[in-house]
């Protein structure tokens, strides 16, 4: 199964509303894999702008951490943000799925120049130091230029997403696949998802909680929901 399809659970709200915390998705591991000569009938292609991708986080401190984000830029693309709006090769993008800065009681939803006017103000607070040092070498005329063999990805919930603005580019070799659809969705919080991995006892408690509430907390309308 790991070579063709893989299940993946969404642990955070960085991709809302496309993907919700507690969504269980089936990931296609074939489409972005290197072509195999003995299987010419299998469709292969390179990742494209707009794809939702699953990948290993490009951070040596957490080499096995798997993330899901939306692919914004491919090699050679020039990207910058103004007040949260993505400009791709000089053209403002109409991203209906993306959350923009807004007036809110949550300070993370408010406009943040370092995060929402990227990269002209450098990296946002909380960025990895290695990326903060490398960023200037990838900026030309106020644009972030995606280097060969790399991609730039961001979460749809832009104000609550630690994404490429914070840790840089996604190497091609880090990309595992793309989520196809939800096979099950269960209401949960990010704290509850984090607790599942804390200990054996926490996992057992989570299992019994899920079993107890499987009927009333399952998001039935999201079953079979295609991910775009």
Split at pLDDT 50, 70, 90, the class of 212 is confident
Q: 43-80 burial string, b = 16+ CB within 10 Å, else e?
A: eeeebeeebbbbbbbbeeeeeeeebbbbbbbbeebbbb
Residues 94 and 87: beta-carbon distance below 8 Å: no
Split at pLDDT 50, 70, 90, the class of 39 is low
Catalytic annotation present for 217: no
pLDDT (tens digit per residue) in 1-12: 456 788 899 999
Q: Where are the beta strands (DSSP E) in 57-167?
A: 66-73, 78-82, 85-88, 91-92, 139-140, 143-145, 150-154
pLDDT (tens digit per residue) in 76-98: 999 999 999 999 999 999 999 99
Residue 155 has what pLDDT?
Answer: 97
Residue 203 has what pLDDT?
Answer: 67
CA angle 191, 165, 140 (to 5 degrees): 180
Residue 199 has what pLDDT?
Answer: 64
| 87/132 Cα distance (integer angstroms) | 21
Catalytic annotation present for 69: yes
- Tell me 123's DSSP state: S
pTM for this one? 0.89
Q: Does the structure show a pLDDT above 60 at 207? A: yes
Q: Does the structure show a pLDDT above 70 at 51? A: yes
**Other C-beta atoms within 10 Å of 172: how many?**
16
Q: For residue 93, what are the contacts with CB-CB under 8 A and spacing of at least 6?
A: 85, 86, 87
Query: What would the two tokens of residue 101 be?
Result: 């800065």
Residue 228 has what pLDDT?
Answer: 92
Catalytic residue among 69, 127, 161, 185: 69
In the chain, count of helices (H) and strands (E)? 5, 12
pLDDT (tens digit per residue) in 91-142: 999 999 999 998 888 888 999 999 999 999 999 999 999 999 999 999 999 9
Catalytic residue among 14, 127, 161, 185: 14
């Amino acid at each position: 199964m790991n070579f063709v399809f893989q299940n993946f659970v969404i642990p955070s709200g960085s991709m809302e509303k496309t993907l919700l915390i507690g969504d269980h998705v089936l990931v296609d591991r074939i489409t972005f894999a290197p072509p195999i000569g003995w299987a010419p009938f299998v469709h292969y292609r390179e990742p494209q702008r707009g794809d939702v991708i699953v990948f290993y986080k490009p951070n040596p401190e957490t080499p096995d951490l798997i993330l899901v984000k939306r692919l914004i830029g491919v090699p050679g693309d020039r990207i910058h943000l103004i007040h949260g709006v993505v400009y791709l090769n000089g053209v403002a993008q109409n991203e209906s799925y993306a959350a923009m800065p807004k007036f809110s009681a949550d300070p993370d939803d408010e406009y943040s120049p370092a995060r929402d006017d990227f990269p002209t103000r450098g990296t946002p607070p909380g960025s990895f130091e290695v990326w903060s040092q490398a960023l200037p070498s990838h900026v030309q005329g106020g644009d972030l230029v995606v280097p060969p063999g790399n991609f730039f990805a961001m979460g749809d919930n832009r104000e609550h997403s630690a994404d490429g603005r914070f840790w840089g580019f996604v190497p091609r070799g880090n990309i595992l696949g793309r989520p196809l659809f939800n096979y099950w969705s269960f209401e949960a919080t990010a704290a509850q998802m984090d607790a599942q991995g804390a200990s054996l006892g926490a996992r057992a408690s989570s299992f019994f909680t899920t079993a107890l509430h499987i009927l009333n907390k399952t998001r039935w309308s999201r079953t079979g929901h295609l991910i775009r």
